C-alpha cells in the first residue's frame, strides 16, 4: 500500500495488530551474584538501553486523525514528551521467601501457584486493564534468598519472542561494557512501516483468513481480565519436562527412515528434531484430550528467515504468526510394517511401533505446513491483513493444543557484567493452557547434543491422563 496514506507516527505493523494485548515475560535466574554491584549495574544498563531506544519510553495508543480513518483499531506508539532516562523502567525488590533453586528445580506447579509467582516477579500485569497504560517494556529485579531474578515484561503487541530476546541481548551489552560498541540495528519505525508494503502487488486468498478470527485470543469476560486469568489457571498444571537429546535423535532417525520408505516427497524436504519432538507432544496431548479423529494444533512460526530477501536482523516487532497444523491421518498398514522393521532390535522403541508411525505422520504434516510459509505466502498474508478495514477483527486464534519454540534464542550466553554474569535458568510463568513452550537451549559440556527443556501448561485432567501415556513415559524416563 502507499505508505503516505498511513499516519506519520510510529505505527504498529499489520502483523503486530494480530497479537492480543497481553504482556509476556522472560525471567532470567542468577545465583552467583555480587550483591553490592547488582543494582548499579542494572540501573546503568537500563538507562543506556533507553537512551539507545528512546521510543521504549512510549506507550501504545489508538491512532486518530484523517490518515487513521482508513482502519478501525489502528494503533501506534506515542513517544514520551519527556527525556527517557530509564529511571522508571526498572524496579528493585526483595522477597526472601523465594529461592532460585526451589523455583527452577520444581517439575510441577499448580496454575494458581504459577500465576502468583508471575505476579510477584513480573514488572507488568499479564493482562492489562483498559484503563492502564500500554507500556512497551519494563524490568524488575527481585533479590531472593539465594540469588536474583531479572524479569523483562514486554507487550506482545510490540515485540515477538525474537524481538524481545534481541532487546535482552542489547541490555546485557549495556550492563557489561563501559563503552558498548555502536549498534547497527535498523530503524524500528521505518521497518514497521515497511511491513505494511510487503504484500504490494500480491493477490491474497481465503486461505490467509483461516489463521485469524474476530475475537482476541484472550477475550475479556464479564468479570474483567483479572478473573479470566484466575479462571484459566484454576484447573491448570504447569510441568517442566526435560527430554534427552539422545531420545529425540533416536526418534528423528526412525522417522527419517520411515520417510525414505515412502520415496522422495517434495512436500516433505526433511524432518527436524523439533518437528519430531513437537509431533510426539502433539500426539500425546491430543490423545489425552480424547481426540481420536482429525484435529488441529497451532504452532508459532518465525517469518524472518522465510522472506526473500531475509528480514534485517535486530527487528523488534512481531514477524511471526500461528499456523494451523492438521493431525496426520492414521498410519497405513505399509507404514506400520515399516515402523515394525525399523524398531526391530530396538527394545526401547519396539513397544511404541504404532506411536512411532503416528508421530511420523504428524511430523510430516507439521513440516509440510511450515514449508508452505514461504516468501509468497507471507506477502499474501500481509496483503490480506492490509485489506481488512477493521484491525480489531484479525486476531490470532488459540487452538486445542498450541506450541511455540524459543530454543534458538541465545539467552543463556548473555553476559550481564561481572556482578551478574550469565543466567543459570531462563523461564516464563503465568501462561494459559494448553500450551507447550520449548525453552531456550542451555548448552552443557558433553557431546554437543543438549537436552530439551519444555514448559507445558496443561488442563489438570489432561495432565493426569498424560501420566499414563507410554510415549510420554518413554520421553521423560
- Of the chain, the percentage scoring pLDDT greater than 70 comes to 92
The end-to-end CA distance of the chain, in Å, is: 54
152 in Cβ contact with 139 (< 8 Å) = yes
Confidence check: pLDDT of 4 > 70: no
C-alpha cell at 397: 486464534
Measured in residues, the chain has a length of 477
418 in Cβ contact with 21 (< 8 Å) = no
pLDDT in tens, 52-106: 999 999 999 999 887 677 899 999 999 875 544 445 899 999 999 999 999 999 9
C-alpha cell at 426: 531462563
Confidence check: pLDDT of 297 > 70: yes
Instruction: Judge whether 274 lies within some domain.
Output: no
296 in Cβ contact with 325 (< 8 Å) = yes
Confidence check: pLDDT of 12 > 80: yes
Give which of 280, 72, 49 is closest to 170, Cα–Cα: 49
Task: Tell me the mean pLDDT in the region 201-225.
Answer: 75
DSSP string for 207-244: GGGGGEESS-TTPPPTT-HHHHHHHHHTTEEEEEEEE-
Domain at 104, CATH number? 3.30.559.10
pLDDT of the residue at 230: 81
pLDDT in tens, 174-209: 998 666 677 888 899 999 999 999 999 988 877 888
pLDDT of the residue at 275: 96
Burial of residue 169, with CB atoms counted within 10 A of its CB: 0-12 exposed, 13-18 middle, 19 or more buried: middle
Q: What angle do CA 163, 164, 168 make, to 5 degrees?
A: 120
Averaged pLDDT of the chain: 89
Confidence band for 351, pLDDT divided at 50, 70 and 90: confident
Confidence check: pLDDT of 346 > 90: no
C-alpha cell at 281: 507432544
- HSE-up of residue 154 (Cα within 13 Å, Cβ side): 24
pLDDT of the residue at 159: 98
* Lowest model confidence (mean pLDDT) among 66-70, 160-164, 308-312, 427-431: 66-70
DSSP string for 339-376: HHHHHTT-HHHHTTHHHHHHHHHHHHHHHHHHHT--HH
**Rounded distance between C-alpha atoms, residue 357 and residue 362, angstroms:** 9
pLDDT in tens, 363-399: 999 999 999 999 999 999 999 999 999 999 999 988 8
pLDDT of the residue at 85: 47
Q: CA 104, 106, 111, 115: dihedral to nearest 10 degrees?
A: -30
Q: How far does Cα 36 stand from its chain's mean position?
A: 34
Instruction: Judge whether 164 lies within some domain.
Output: yes
**Rounded distance between C-alpha atoms, residue 456 and residue 473, angstroms:** 15
User: Taking the model in full, what pTM does it have?
Assistant: 0.93
C-alpha cell at 169: 541481548
pLDDT of the residue at 267: 76
Instruction: Judge whether 399 lies within some domain.
Output: yes
**Rounded distance between C-alpha atoms, residue 92 and residue 138, angstroms:** 12
Instruction: Judge whether 103 lies within some domain.
Output: yes
- HSE-up of residue 138 (Cα within 13 Å, Cβ side): 19
pLDDT of the residue at 265: 66
**Rounded distance between C-alpha atoms, residue 471 and residue 241, angstroms:** 13
Helix/strand/coil percentages in the chain, nearest 5: 40, 20, 40
pLDDT of the residue at 251: 93
Instruction: Judge whether 265 lies within some domain.
Output: no
Instruction: Judge whether 434 lies within some domain.
Output: yes
How many domains would you assign to the chain? 1
User: How far are the Cα atoms of 100, 411, 424, 472 from residue 105, in angstroms, in the given order?
Assistant: 8, 19, 11, 20
pLDDT of the residue at 225: 54
Task: Tell me the mean pLDDT in the region 315-323.
Answer: 96
**Rounded distance between C-alpha atoms, residue 60 and residue 79, angstroms:** 9
pLDDT of the residue at 332: 81
Q: H-type helices in 289-352, by residue range? A: 333-343, 347-350
**Rounded distance between C-alpha atoms, residue 186 and residue 421, angstroms:** 28
C-alpha cell at 150: 531479572
Instruction: Judge whether 281 lies within some domain.
Output: no
State the CB neighbour count (10 A cutoff) for residue 360: 28
pLDDT of the residue at 447: 63
Confidence band for 334, pLDDT divided at 50, 70 and 90: confident
Burial of residue 83, with CB atoms counted within 10 A of its CB: 0-12 exposed, 13-18 middle, 19 or more buried: exposed
Helices and strands in the chain, H and E counts: 14, 17
pLDDT of the residue at 86: 47
Sheet holding 402-405, edge to edge: 108-110, 236-243, 452-459, 435-438, 402-405, 296-302, 320-326
C-alpha cell at 302: 518465525
Instruction: Judge whether 389 lies within some domain.
Output: yes
pLDDT of the residue at 194: 96
Where in the sequence is the domain holding 104, given as residue range(s)? 3-187+199-244+367-476
Task: Tell me the mean pLDDT in the region 402-414.
Answer: 95
Amino acid at each position: 500500500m502507499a505508505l503516505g496514506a498511513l499516519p506519520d507516527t510510529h505505527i504498529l505493523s499489520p502483523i503486530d495488530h494480530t497479537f492480543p494485548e497481553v504482556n509476556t515475560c522472560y525471567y532470567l535466574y542468577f545465583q552467583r551474584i555480587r550483591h553490592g554491584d547488582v543494582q548499579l549495574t542494572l540501573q546503568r544498563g537500563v538507562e543506556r538501553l533507553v537512551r539507545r531506544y528512546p521510543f521504549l519510553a512510549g506507550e501504545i495508543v489508538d491512532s486518530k486523525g484523517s490518515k487513521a480513518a482508513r482502519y478501525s483499531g489502528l494503533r501506534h506508539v506515542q513517544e514520551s514528551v519527556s527525556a527517557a532516562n530509564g529511571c522508571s523502567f526498572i524496579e528493585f525488590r526483595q522477597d526472601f521467601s523465594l529461592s532460585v533453586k526451589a523455583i527452577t528445580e520444581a517439575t510441577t506447579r499448580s496454575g494458581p501457584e504459577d500465576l502468583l509467582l508471575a505476579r510477584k516477579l513480573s514488572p507488568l500485569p499479564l493482562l492489562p486493564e483498559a484503563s492502564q497504560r500500554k507500556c512497551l517494556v519494563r524490568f524488575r529485579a527481585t533479590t531472593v534468598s539465594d540469588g536474583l531474578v531479572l524479569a523483562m515484561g514486554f507487550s506482545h503487541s510490540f515485540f515477538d519472542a525474537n524481538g524481545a530476546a534481541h532487546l535482552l541481548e542489547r541490555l546485557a551489552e549495556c550492563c557489561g561494557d563501559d563503552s558498548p560498541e555502536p549498534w547497527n540495528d535498523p530503524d524500528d519505525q521505518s521497518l514497521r512501516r515497511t511491513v505494511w508494503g510487503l504484500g504490494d502487488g500480491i493477490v491474497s486468498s481465503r486461505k490467509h483468513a483461516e489463521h485469524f478470527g474476530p475475537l482476541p485470543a484472550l477475550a475479556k469476560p464479564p468479570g474483567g481480565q483479572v478473573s479470566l486469568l484466575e479462571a484459566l489457571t484454576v484447573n491448570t498444571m504447569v510441568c517442566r519436562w526435560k527430554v534427552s537429546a539422545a531420545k529425540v535423535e533416536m526418534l528423528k532417525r526412525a522417522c527419517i527412515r520411515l520417510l525414505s520408505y515412502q520415496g522422495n516427497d517434495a512436500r516433505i524436504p526433511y524432518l527436524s528434531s523439533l518437528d519430531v519432538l513437537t509431533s510426539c507432544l502433539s500426539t500425546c496431548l491430543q490423545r489425552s484430550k480424547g481426540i481420536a479423529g482429525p484435529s488441529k494444533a497451532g504452532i508459532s512460526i518465525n517469518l524472518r528467515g522465510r522472506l526473500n530477501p531475509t528480514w534485517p536482523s535486530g527487528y523488534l516487532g512481531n514477524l511471526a504468526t500461528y499456523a494451523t497444523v492438521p493431525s496426520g491421518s492414521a498410519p497405513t498398514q505399509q507404514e506400520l510394517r515399516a515402523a515394525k522393521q525399523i524398531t526391530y532390535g530396538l527394545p526401547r522403541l519396539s513397544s511404541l511401533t504404532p506411536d512411532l508411525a503416528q508421530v511420523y505422520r504428524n511430523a510430516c504434516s507439521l513440516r509440510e505446513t511450515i514449508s508452505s510459509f514461504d516468501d509468497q505466502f507471507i506477502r499474501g498474508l500481509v496483503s490480506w491483513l492490509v485489506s481488512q478495514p477493521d484491525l480489531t477483527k484479525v486476531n490470532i486464534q488459540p487452538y486445542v493444543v498450541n506450541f511455540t519454540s524459543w530454543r534458538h534464542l541465545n539467552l543463556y550466553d548473555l553476559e550481564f557484567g561481572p556482578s551478574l554474569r550469565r543466567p543459570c535458568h531462563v523461564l516464563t510463568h503465568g501462561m494459559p493452557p494448553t500450551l507447550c513452550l520449548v525453552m531456550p537451549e542451555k548448552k552443557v559440556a558433553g557431546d554437543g547434543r543438549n537436552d530439551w527443556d519444555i514448559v507445558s501448561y496443561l488442563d489438570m485432567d489432561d495432565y493426569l491422563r498424560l501420566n499414563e501415556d507410554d510415549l510420554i513415559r518413554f520421553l521423560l524416563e
